[in-house]
Chain A
């Protein structure tokens, strides 16, 4: 089943994927165990003439065992998830690479701060549905929406964050492989929801310099 996972090109994606695999193995084992027992019981204890069912109301030891073991596994899974979650969503690393993304029906407006490093100044550079970033660089995204809730989803980065009108959500990612990755909207946002997508372009540092020199440099008036 997990072979369908898209290639991971982010710095934290492998932590998500390894939790994914771990839960997959635990749940698959539980599924097989319960299903095999169920089928075995259905065959072994099928109605047969002359045999009467066991008159048994339960077993407290078994109840304790199958309460404590799942509880222990689930609590361990929670604690294993806490740090990855904190790393991705709570502890946003510092970076000098910041962009602003504003979702609107049915586009991603991408804004680079320009040479002054500030948003909302005349040297801001805007792109429609295209993000351009260098690899191995923390990218901080200020995510906004101007109408309804959208969701900024980059499958290859294991990245998703809703954009909520009325607030700016600071989030981040770091790509480690150059390429062009699809950036769909993942939250129903109206009749044009399907097809609302952009592209994340990840460059090697050299290629990014070339791209930035061409596209981000102040335009002569």
Chain B
């Protein structure tokens, strides 16, 4: 195992690669990580713009959106001054594509693709991924799936409009939505995306199992690596179920089968069971890396060991196991046997416990620390704050009777945005934190703080009032809330949310400026600018092909901050303290 890491290290002396093999078809895990990052950030902008259009319609229904008039009918109706009015069919496509893009083409490529690729080899002391060619293939299949998904905007009938959950029978027959190729392409793109993630997952698992540096036992791995390792296992097991369901849906649409169509003996609820059997582990696929990264950042910037390392690792393992037996809580009122609802309520309540353990351990990490409020730390704390709200609001839905009322309302929209959109805080934290190792320069801290404050305030402004709307019964996925007498009195909240969302979107300009300016003109980064313990900071900046000058030997866990053994308040995992420490490692 250590031999293979060393062998990869020896690969570092290649002739200078050409532009194409360096930037496009790179086999280097670090470049593949950057490729995922750029694609993910581009998709984040697209997904964000779609969300703004959805919000515009909800605050000012059927009023012209400035600058949208260039799109032809029937997708957009012309309004005065070059504006365009969003019709209901387009509105359905907007929220469908917003969710699909944000989940499969933003959070997965960045949290799993970027940070999985970039960090796993560096943090375990390996020279690269175990299968570099498979890694490259994973990126390119993912990129093609993104192109297929985006191309669906340009086919007759527009993109998929059946919701990101694609519930049959709505999604199974063209006549129900009026969308033909848009829905086909949605299915095909998600199948390709699943293949891409599957290749990545196999690579991550193999790399973690086989390529850890000498001394890097499983329980010396940073929690970021633990979270990505568990995520990869969930991906490996969950995605085939989605792919199978998507294949069945495609057959129903194109080959005349009836897996989900009752008129041919099929069962619409089968889609929901298969989709959520994938879909609930998927939620943890999205959030576990954010939890791992947050744990590492809180410890680093509190200058203190993570509180309860084993509890943190085992709670993630517990979440991973439990995530397979909670899918039915998406289906309490679906017509599924209500007795099953009772069973799924129990498992769902149980899965809240490991999540609670994580939050309390994060608090424990802060306690007694020497806290540095850097930009990555602020964003990590923002993630904790959002996850706290998202976790607590989940308890309402877990209770089956309460779910009868709030199911399919804005309460659920608030809940999953606090969890899933809240991941964006961990995403930003990670970008600000690892930017020096990825791009060899520091991002600007004051600009980063402005970005944090605006994002935090307007994120909460956009998503917290959605709880009020949900309590009032406001359904999700409706085109015009003013069509309902009981929703109309709450309309001011819809306007407030839209303003918050628009400012939240505009605030991201501070990130874009900072990111691209720092890429070319930021302060040159030193090897270990944050004084952190994990192995990636022991590698040179920029890390060469093969990452390390010599394969590191690991003497201790990742969290020896403020250790009494040394003068400074950090103690890198590979720092040899002489004979005593060396003896311990053997």
B360 → A minimal CB distance (Å): 4
Residues on A with C-beta less than 8 A from B395 are 23, 26-27, 74, 77
Residues on A with C-beta less than 8 A from B163 are 188
Q: Does A27 lie within 8 Å of B305, measured CB to CB?
A: no
Q: Does A38 lie within 8 Å of B569, measured CB to CB?
A: no
A41 → B minimal CB distance (Å): 4
Would you call A220 an interface residue if the criterion is a C-beta within 8 Å of the partner chain's C-beta atoms?
no
Residues on B with C-beta less than 8 A from A62 are 308, 360, 364
Q: Does A189 lie within 8 Å of B307, measured CB to CB?
A: no
Q: Does A188 lie within 8 Å of B167, measured CB to CB?
A: yes
Per a CB cutoff under 8 Å, which of A20, A30, A158, A186 touches B408? A186
Which of B22-30, B334-342, B438-446, B534-542 contacts the other chain?
B334-342
Per a CB cutoff under 8 Å, which of B88, B304, B475, B486 touches A192? B88
Number of chain B residues whose Cβ lies closer than 8 Å to a Cβ of chain A: 99
Q: Does A195 lie within 8 Å of B480, measured CB to CB?
A: yes
Per a CB cutoff under 8 Å, which of B353, B381, B408 touches A153? B408
Q: Which of B464-488 contact A (CB under 8 A)?
A: 467-469, 471-473, 475, 477-480, 483-486
**Hey, what's the 0/1 contact readout for A1-32 against B, CB within 8 Å counting as 1?**
11011100000000110011001101100110
Residues on B with C-beta less than 8 A from A191 are 87-89, 92, 161, 177-178
Residues on B with C-beta less than 8 A from A67 are 353, 356-357
Measured CA separation A165–B258 after assembly (Å) = 13
A12 → B minimal CB distance (Å): 8
* Given A38-B381, A151-B408, CB of A81 within 8 Å of CB of B400: yes
Residue in A closest to B171 when the chains form the complex, CB atoms:
A148
Per a CB cutoff under 8 Å, which of A20, A162, A188 touches B334? A162
A53 → B minimal CB distance (Å): 4
Would you call B548 an interface residue if the criterion is a C-beta within 8 Å of the partner chain's C-beta atoms?
no
A179 → B minimal CB distance (Å): 12
Would you call A132 an interface residue if the criterion is a C-beta within 8 Å of the partner chain's C-beta atoms?
no
Would you call A177 an interface residue if the criterion is a C-beta within 8 Å of the partner chain's C-beta atoms?
no
Residue in B closest to A81 when the chains form the complex, CB atoms:
B399
Q: Residue among A82, A105, A148 with the most chain B CB within 10 A?
A: A148
Measured CA separation A185–B473 after assembly (Å) = 12
Measured CA separation A45–B302 after assembly (Å) = 8
Residues on B with C-beta less than 8 A from A47 are 303, 370-372
Residue in B closest to A20 when the chains form the complex, CB atoms:
B402
* Given A54-B562, A148-B169, A190-B177, CB of A1 within 8 Å of CB of B471: yes
**Hey, what's the 0/1 contact readout for A138-151 against B, CB within 8 Å counting as 1?**
00000000011101
Q: Does B369 lie within 8 Å of A41, measured CB to CB?
A: yes
* Given A190-B176, A191-B178, CB of A56 within 8 Å of CB of B305: yes
Q: Does A194 lie within 8 Å of B480, measured CB to CB?
A: yes
Q: Which of A67-113 contact B (CB under 8 A)?
A: 67, 70-71, 74-75, 77-78, 81-82, 84-86, 88-90, 105
Per a CB cutoff under 8 Å, which of B87, B170, B366, B409 touches A186? B409
Residues on B with C-beta less than 8 A from A48 are 370
Q: Does A45 lie within 8 Å of B371, measured CB to CB?
A: yes
- State the total of A-B contacts with C-beta under 8 angstroms: 281
**Hey, what's the 0/1 contact readout for B256-292 against A, CB within 8 Å counting as 1?**
0000001100111100000000000000000000000
Residue in B closest to A41 when the chains form the complex, CB atoms:
B366
* Given A6-B473, A149-B169, A193-B478, CB of A160 within 8 Å of CB of B302: no
Q: Does B339 lie within 8 Å of A23, measured CB to CB?
A: no
Residues on B with C-beta less than 8 A from A75 are 349
Measured CA separation A51–B304 after assembly (Å) = 12
* Given A66-B360, A148-B169, CB of A30 within 8 Å of CB of B392: yes
Q: Does A58 lie within 8 Å of B311, measured CB to CB?
A: yes
Q: Does B373 lie within 8 Å of A85, measured CB to CB?
A: no
Measured CA separation A49–B174 after assembly (Å) = 67
Per a CB cutoff under 8 Å, which of A35, A147, A182, A188 touches B92? A188
Would you call A212 an interface residue if the criterion is a C-beta within 8 Å of the partner chain's C-beta atoms?
no
Residues on A with C-beta less than 8 A from B367 are 41, 45, 54
Residues on A with C-beta less than 8 A from B483 are 194-195, 197
Q: Does A53 lie within 8 Å of B88, measured CB to CB?
A: no
A176 → B minimal CB distance (Å): 17
Residues on A with C-beta less than 8 A from B484 are 182, 184, 197
Would you call B396 an interface residue if the criterion is a C-beta within 8 Å of the partner chain's C-beta atoms?
yes
Residue in A closest to B372 when the chains form the complex, CB atoms:
A47
Q: Does B349 lie within 8 Å of A158, measured CB to CB?
A: no
* Given A74-B353, A164-B268, A191-B92, CB of A20 within 8 Å of CB of B333: no
Residues on A with C-beta less than 8 A from B339 are 90
Q: Does B485 lie within 8 Å of A182, measured CB to CB?
A: yes
Residues on A with C-beta less than 8 A from B480 are 194-195
Would you call B368 an interface residue if the criterion is a C-beta within 8 Å of the partner chain's C-beta atoms?
yes
* Given A16-B404, A90-B338, CB of A34 within 8 Å of CB of B371: no
Measured CA separation A5–B409 after assembly (Å) = 12
B50 → A minimal CB distance (Å): 16
A96 → B minimal CB distance (Å): 23
* Given A58-B309, A188-B162, CB of A35 within 8 Å of CB of B385: yes
Residue in A closest to B404 when the chains form the complex, CB atoms:
A160
Would you call B389 an interface residue if the criterion is a C-beta within 8 Å of the partner chain's C-beta atoms?
yes
Per a CB cutoff under 8 Å, which of B167, B372, B373, B405 touches A187? B167
* Given A5-B471, A70-B356, A188-B167, CB of A151 within 8 Å of CB of B333: yes
* Given A57-B305, A194-B483, A195-B483, CB of A27 within 8 Å of CB of B349: no
Residues on A with C-beta less than 8 A from B359 are 34
Residues on A with C-beta less than 8 A from B266 are 166
* Given A23-B395, A58-B308, A191-B178, CB of A53 within 8 Å of CB of B569: yes
State the 4 A-B residue pairs at the shortest beta-carbon distance, nearest first: A166-B262, A54-B368, A194-B479, A155-B473
A-B contact pairs, 28 of them (CB 8 A): A1-B467, A4-B471, A4-B490, A5-B471, A5-B472, A19-B399, A26-B395, A38-B384, A45-B366, A45-B371, A53-B370, A54-B367, A54-B368, A58-B311, A58-B364, A63-B311, A63-B357, A67-B357, A74-B353, A151-B333, A159-B404, A161-B333, A164-B268, A185-B475, A186-B409, A190-B176, A192-B88, A193-B92
14 A-B pairs besides A54-B304, A71-B353 with CB distance below 8 A are A38-B366, A45-B367, A57-B308, A58-B307, A63-B311, A70-B356, A78-B399, A89-B400, A149-B169, A162-B333, A166-B268, A188-B170, A190-B170, A191-B178
